[in-house]
Structure 1
Amino acid sequence: MTTPIFSAKLDALPATLELFREYDAGGLATALAAGSRCHALSIGSGGSAIAAEYLVRCRDTLGLGPTTVQTPMQVVLDQHDLTESDVWLFSAGGENPDAAAASRAALDRKARSIHLVTRNPDGAAADIVEKGGGYLHVVPVAEPKDGYLATHSLLSSVVGLLLACDQVSRDPRGTLHLLDALSSCLTDMRDPATRTSRTVAMSHLRRTDTVVVTADPLLRPTAVLFDTSIWEAALCHVQTADFRNLAHGRHAWLHHRLDETLILAFTGTDSRATWAAMETLLPTSLHRLTLDFGSGGRLDNVLSLVDGLGMIEAMGVVLGIDPGKPGIGDFGRSIYEDRSLADLAKAMPAHVRHKRAAIAKSDVHNPADDSLDTIGRNRLQFLSQADIGGAVFDYDGTIVTTAGRWSVPDQVIVDELVRLHRAGLAIGFATGRGGSAGEDLRKVLPAEILPSIPIGYYNGGYLRTADVDIGQDHPLADPAIVETAEWLRQRGELFLRHEFKHREVQITVDMDRLCHPYRFPIDMEACPPFAADRIRVTGSGHSYDIIPSTSSKLVVVDALRAQLPAWAEVLCFGDSGSHPGNDYALLSHRFGISVGEVCGAANGCWSLFGAGPIGPDALLKILRALVPSENGRIRFDVASLGLDRR
């Protein structure tokens, strides 16, 4: 054999398989079953990408739900939250910087659960996952070091999943049956006659040739094995495609390089006819090798991976390259160990990711802005160093949840507001509501503090203290609002149900009453008072508010500042910080904090926790971090929230 290192690894694989006769797959089985009807993200690179693909097949055969495969870099750079997704990470040693980066990103993106499948419980990725409340699934290997290509770790990962899936299945085949089948396959793969026949089948292959791996999609793990191994061992050129994707244009490669191409076709029960029909149309001189792997089920896939390793060995023999040690340049180890992705993941905690997603949504980026990491850390520093004298709160979505907006605030929120008021914090409220907000606050706040609390009703269009019942004290009607209400009454085509709330200084339109809710601000451009800049449209989680252009929630901030000393900063809280959210102006400064949406400006509105927690849950954490300082003022104990990991 001319592949002593790789062949020795293959010869030792039965020792790893034997370890599974004592392995308890119950933890993996429980984790898989818990992901039923949920999306899963399967992450791996190099040899671990093969195991990541195998998880897709496992979950599909068990009917657990859709699974997406990504590389660590994709996981770091994607921005949607993962609160509805289980994340599965595959890393043999768990020590490489990319595995650590993916682990950190999954936590910051609020994954529903995180599972790391590894042979090393002491790796950097394992440490991150465990500290973040994730789960380790340690699979046994007879040889801790794989060599250059994944062998023992690959077999261990897929066999662990195979046995776990067998437990989850309602019709298990049994651990001994599965292990015996694999043992037989390993014996055949290492048989001298089998090795010789595979070498003969590959004997025409040259280093300058291209191997086209075309496969049944249900056998994608094996296709990825060849794509990864051929490239990583520098055996020859390779490209992969399923049968029909090959037929859509990629066949031109065969026409121009017929004598330089080998087709490896991996078929299954459902794809045999498709490949057979195509193969009859291909030139007879084209080198091809077809292997069939039955139904493409869980066991079939592991068996095909074992056969695939044997074929990779045969390629190495023919080409004179040992896949276990093909030789790499001096730069190879350096680029593998590069920590730039890990540094990037560290620079993107949850609140930075939240802002980054908002910027992407607006699709506007100012290259002159500082990095979001820098801006985010500076904002936390400003907050921690500020002497705070006041706080202004939006109501719906902030003090109460949007869904629970017709209930009074939770007592824990009320207790914190009262504590802070008695500690010297001036408090105000700015709400899109009318008198109902004041009515609810009067039910829960002590009567003696109500006269000191300003409330900006109708998005700041009417300012009164909390002790005043504005049901008995109406604002004057704004002419632009009156004119707009009449215009809306004539625009029935905008509504599913032609109704809205008309108050003296505000019109409120529930989104579920509109034909095209997200187009409503554009539809309003045809309204004369809007075109004349006499009114503007703001939004919340459930409705649009049409208000005079002169109305602003900032009137409450001004009211507090008027009674505070010059040194005192005013914190502002809301949930609709995006543009045109009704908290946009209130929050777009360094002392504005969103407990919901943020805007697309790098230096505008930010949250502290990212995608979650939100609303009153997020507010409660923040209120509890507002504490008396040594000089008798209020300070924000930002460090107690654990937001800055540096």
Structure 2
Amino acid sequence: MARPYSSEMAKLAETFTWAKTADIGPLRLALRTAGLSPLRAIGSGGSLTAAHMLASLHQHFTGRLASVATPLEAAEEPLESGVATWLLSAGGGNIDIMAAAKALILREPRQLGVLCGRADSPLADLCRNHSFVDLLLYPPPAGKDGFLATNSLLGFSALLNRAYATEFGADADWDEAIDRLQMLLPESAPAVQVWREATVPLWPRTTTVVLYGPSTRVGAIDLESKFTEAALGNLQLADYRNFAHGRHHWFAKRAETSAVLAFVTDADRALAERTLALIPTEVPQARIDLSGGHSATALSSLLAALRITEWAGIARGIDPGRPGVPEFGRKLYNLPLPRSHRGASRPRLSPREAAAISRKAGVAPSRLAAMGELDRWRDALGAFRARLHEARFAAVVLDYDGTIVDTRHRFEPASPEMIAELARLATAGARIAVATGRGGSVRRDLQSRLPSSLWSQILVGYYNGAEVAPLVDDSAPDRATTVCAALRPLADALRRQPELAQCARQEDRPFQITLEAVRVMPESRLWDLAQQVILMTGVSDVSVTRSSHSIDIVAAGVSKLNVIEHLRKDIGDGPILTIGDRGRWPGNDYALLREPFSLGVDELSVDPATCWHLGEPGQRGPAVTLDYLSMLEPHDGYLQFGKEALQ
């Protein structure tokens, strides 16, 4: 049974205290990734307001475009995979958010973030089965909301404000927001009482026009949501300038039944006052004055919306927390989303095949069929898979970050399941090699998990193949931090570049220079800065590649292919299976995944002859690597894919 709205409001202070102290480390990490691209925030009901808050914060702090969508829109409308896609749901169980999540997982966007308030929800369970999803679980202390979103909404909004401000170097904004909210949370606060008295003239009128500025839009949106869902009255929304484009005409015809509620901040005060002064005097006005920067006014407007909903309910004899749900409403709530027709034209393709072609071609199979291109891609896939099934592999070479371990947790050892598969294959006599851009940390991690009896038959190529040694060799790699003579002028020039000195960490090794961003920065920017320095110094005999977290500059002759050359000395010319996550140029697995028998787990080259991602739909990264390895069957020291594998 729904709870009284007043009982929900009584817990707001507790919720805000929780939002101030909760561990936002995972949320910050996810927002760091989101900050590199445009963002789409998806929610329904009260979570739609939280989605608007997320979009507003993203644009404000990153300068990148952000939009809002409902689950129906998200499930049906195509979107470029590079857009960060976020789902917000307090309960994680409604039919709409589940349908959107399933559709989006199958599209495998570059980032899929899910902010959910229930760890034991169907949404959380679904996301756990797709490890590339950034699942962010933040159950608010007040528990499940009543009929309207209250504590979950304030909690999510405060967490997002805190995480964005902290991650993007605006701690003062969050400190100011804390101060403002602390003063407004008590129902008896002087400012809150001023708001309440100001809104009294609104309630005899049937229509309220809500005017707002950029930072208070979220409060206006939430008011409209709550007034509609609880049947408290008619609301119209407009920012101060859009109101001037025809919406003001409402008062010319219906002034006697209308009122104005205006959110006024320091940033828009002059415009607000001039606008309000021109509204006919017979139209009652209520001003909600808010002070502070973007975070402070956004959160204050949301808190004001929650309060105003309560006062409107009291005045109009409706408890917003339990307005009563009609039977037809319950039936409407449980209607399923329409079945998607996006993949209808996929003749004779299994789900795994359809996903593989879509990833490789960059176009959905249905569109390829319409263009007459599907047969070509299907034939290429069939030929590649046939070669895989026929081959008897004497060795497997794997990238490490993004392939064996999740890039988001790259300083943690490989999972027990991954280690078990590597040990199974090595025990069967197959040679295993790891080609990584990292150094000794990989050796230590693998030694800590794999049985020492297997170390001698596992090869590691450190620093992108600059040094190759058996896992058992504790002297490898070279720990020197001085680059070779060929790279020294470039290393010095990179350190002198002003922007790189501020935004990147530089690590020098004998044959490799690594640049890693220390703040939110697009890979393309770091790449351009490195390339500019290379051009200016005139250094030509180097290779530059991108990994999932850095840019590596290596001396001539350094390549992950060096690992394969070392293996060839022992195994001859037999087929070698290579697996990596960055097969698209200039990814640091590009050369490795140009080999004839190469499987990708994320980014792919455009070559139809090799470097295919054949994982299950909605999977990428180490989960796909694990899938590949589990399908390999040992036979007399060789490895083969079973007949039914990769179908």
- The alignment's TM-score, normalised by the length of structure 1, stands at 0.55
| Equivalent residue runs for 1:297-312 within 5 Å | 297-312=294-309
Q: Distance in 1 between matches of 2:389 and 2:364?
A: 31
SS class of match (1:149): coil
Task: Compute the displacement of 1:218 (Å).
Answer: 2.6
Q: Which protein has the larger Cα radius of gyration, Structure 1 or Structure 2?
A: 1
Counterpart AA for 1:222:
G
SS at match of 2:79: coil
How many residue pairs were aligned? 402
2:367 match = 358
2:114 to 105, 109, 116: 116
Q: Note if 1:245 corresponds to 2:242.
A: yes
Please give the alpha-carbon distance, in whole angstroms, between the structure 2 residues aligned to 1:121 and 1:58.
25
Cα separation, 1, equivalents of 2:365 and 2:247? 37
Contact 1:42–1:67 under 8 Å retained in 2: yes
Distance, in Å, in 1 between the alignment partners of 2:364 and 2:173 is 49
Supply the distance in 2 between the matched residues of 1:95 and 1:301 (Cα, whole angstroms). 28
Residues 374-413 of structure 1 show CA distances to partners (whole Å, capped at 9, x for unaligned) of xxxxx9xxxxxxxxxxx98899xx59xxxxxxxxxxxx98
Alignment partners' CA distance in 1, 2:226 and 2:328: 19
Could you give the per-residue CA deviations for residues 573-624 of structure 1, whole angstroms, max 9, x where no partner exists? xxxxxxxxxxxxxxxxxxxxxxxxxxxxxxxxxxxx9x98965378846799
22 and 257 in structure 1: CA distance in 2 versus 1, 3 angstrom threshold = same
Q: Which amino acid is 2:367 matched to?
A: A
* Helix, strand or coil at the partner of 1:161: helix
CA RMSD, aligned part only? 4.2
Flag the 1:215–1:175 CA change in 2: closer, same or farther, 3 A. Answer: closer
Counterpart residue number, 2:17: 18
Rounded to whole Å, the distance in 2 between the matches of 1:121 and 1:419 is 41
Give 1:310 shift. 0.8
Partner of 1:337: 334
Q: What SS is found at the alignment partner of 2:245?
A: helix
Q: Which residue of 2 aligns with 1:256?
A: 253
3-state secondary structure, aligned to 1:20: helix
The match for 2:157 is 158
CA 1:296 to 1:347, structure 2 compared with 1: closer, same or farther past 3 Å? farther
1:386-465 to structure 2, matched below 5 A, reads 417=387
2:416 is aligned to none
Q: Which residue of 1 aligns with 2:592?
A: none
Provide the rounded CA distance (Å) in 1 between the counterparts of 2:204 and 2:331: 26
Q: Distance in 1 between matches of 2:386 and 2:39?
A: 39
Question: Would the alpha carbon gap of residues 303 and 263 (structure 1) be closer, same or farther in structure 2, given more than 3 Å must change?
Answer: same
Q: Secondary structure at the match of 1:202?
A: helix
> Aligned match of 2:280 in 278, 283, 301?
283
Distance in 1 (CA, whole Å) between partners of 2:217 and 2:14 is: 26
Match among 86, 89, 100 for residue 88 of structure 1: 86
SS at match of 1:249: coil
**Residues 205 and 319 of structure 1 are in contact (CA less than 8 Å); yes or no, is this contact kept in structure 2?**
no
The 1:335/1:613 distance shift into structure 2, 3 A limit, reads farther
State the alpha-carbon separation in 2 of the partners of residues 156 and 36 from structure 1: 21
**What is the CA deviation profile of residues 207-255 of structure 1, one whole-angstrom value per residue up to 9, with x for unaligned ones?**
7711111211232111111110110110011121112222112122111
Q: 1:108 to 1:637 in 2, by over 3 A?
A: farther
In the alignment, residue 273 of structure 1 is paired with which amino acid? A
**Can you give the 5+ residue segments of structure 1 that lack an aligned partner in the other structure?**
363-378, 380-390, 400-411, 423-608, 628-634, 642-646
CA contact (8 A) 1:81 1:110 kept: no
**What amino acid is the match of 2:281?**
T
Cα shift at 1:31 = 1.2
Distance 1:359 1:251 in 2: 49
Rounded to whole Å, the distance in 1 between the matches of 2:84 and 2:377 is: 35
Q: 1:446-595 residue pairs with structure 2 within 5 A?
A: none
Question: Over residues 142-176 of structure 1, what are the superposed CA-to-partner deviations in whole Å (9 max), with x where a residue is unaligned?
Answer: 22221111111001101111221232132413877
1:322/1:113 Cα in 2 relative to 1: closer, same or farther (>3 Å)?
A: same
Tell me the equivalent position of 1:224.
221
Report if aligned partners of 2:195, 2:287 keep a CA contact under 8 Å in 1: no
Q: List per-residue Cα deviations over 1:342-388 (Å, max 9, x = no partner).
A: x54998889599659739999xxxxxxxxxxxxxxxx9xxxxxxxxx
* Residue of structure 2 in register with 1:79 after alignment: 78
Please report how far the alpha carbon of residue 270 of structure 1 lies from its aligned counterpart in structure 2 after TM superposition: 3.5
Which residue is 2:452 aligned to? Answer: none
**Is the Cα contact below 8 Å between 2:219 and 2:302 reproduced in 1?**
yes
Distance 1:259 1:322 in 2: 26
- Matched-pair contact (CA < 8 Å) for 2:209–2:235: yes
**Alignment-mate amino acid for residue 167 of structure 1:** T
- Distance in 1 between residues matched to 2:50 and 2:200, nearest whole Å: 29
CA distance, structure 2, for counterparts of residue 229 and residue 415 of structure 1:
55
Deviation per CA, 1:407-451, whole angstroms, max 9, x where unpaired? xxxxx98895496599xxxxxxxxxxxxxxxxxxxxxxxxxxxxx
Cα distance in 1 between the residues matched to 2:376 and 2:333: 50
Q: Find the aligned partners of 1:32 and 1:264 in 2 and give their Cα distance.
A: 34
Give the alignment partner of residue 104 of structure 2, picking from 100, 106, 113: 106
Task: Compute the displacement of 1:182 (Å).
Answer: 2.5
- Shift of the 359–214 alpha-carbon distance from structure 1 to 2, 3 Å rule, reads farther
Q: Which amino acid aligns with 1:13?
A: L
What is the letter of the counterpart of residue 47 of structure 1? G
Report SS of the residue matched to 1:616. coil
Specify whether residues 619 and 308 from structure 1 end up closer, same or farther in structure 2 by C-alpha distance, changes over 3 A only.
same
SS of equivalent residue, structure 1 residue 310: helix
Distance (whole Å) between structure 2 residues aligned to residue 639 and residue 416 of structure 1: 11
- Counterparts in 2 of 1:287 and 1:37: CA distance versus 1, 3 Å: same
In structure 2, the residue matched to 1:321 is 318
User: 1:176 & 1:109 partners in 2: Cα distance?
Assistant: 39
Deviation by residue 1:113-152 (Cα, 9 ceiling, x = unmatched): 1111111022122222232221122224222221111111
CA distance in 2 between partners of 1:619 and 1:171 (Å): 42
State whether residues 207 and 257 of structure 2, in contact with CA within 8 Å, keep that contact through their aligned partners in structure 1.
Answer: yes
- Distance in 2 (CA, whole Å) between partners of 1:613 and 1:331 is 52
User: Counterpart in 1 of 2:127?
Assistant: 129
2:268 aligned residue: 271
Say if 2:152 is the partner of 1:143: no
Task: State the alpha-carbon separation in 2 of the partners of residues 417 and 226 from structure 1.
Answer: 61
Q: Distance in 2 between matches of 1:43 and 1:260?
A: 35
- What corresponds to 1:616 in structure 2? 608
Q: 1:637 to 1:47 in 2, by over 3 A?
A: farther
Contact 2:177 2:292 in 1 (8 A): no
Would the aligned equivalents of 1:219 and 1:266 in 2 still touch at CA under 8 Å? Answer: yes
- Alpha-carbon distance in 1 for matches of 2:376, 2:161: 56
In 2 relative to 1, CA 236–612 (structure 1 residues): closer, same or farther, beyond 3 Å?
Answer: farther
Once the two structures are superposed, residues 31-58 of structure 1 have per-residue CA deviations (whole angstroms, 9 ceiling, x without a partner) of 1122223011111111111111111222
- Contact 1:115 / 1:135 at 8 angstroms: preserved in 2? yes
Answer yes or no: is 1:47 the counterpart of 2:46.
Answer: yes
CA separation in 1, counterparts of 2:367 and 2:180? Answer: 52
Residue 346 to residue 18, structure 1, CA distance change in 2 (3 Å) = farther
Corresponding position of 1:556? none
User: 1:76 touches 1:345 (CA, 8 Å); kept in 2?
Assistant: no
Distance 2:301 2:286 in 1: 14
Partner of 2:60: 61
Amino acid at match of 2:608: P
**Cα deviation, residue 88, structure 1:** 1.2
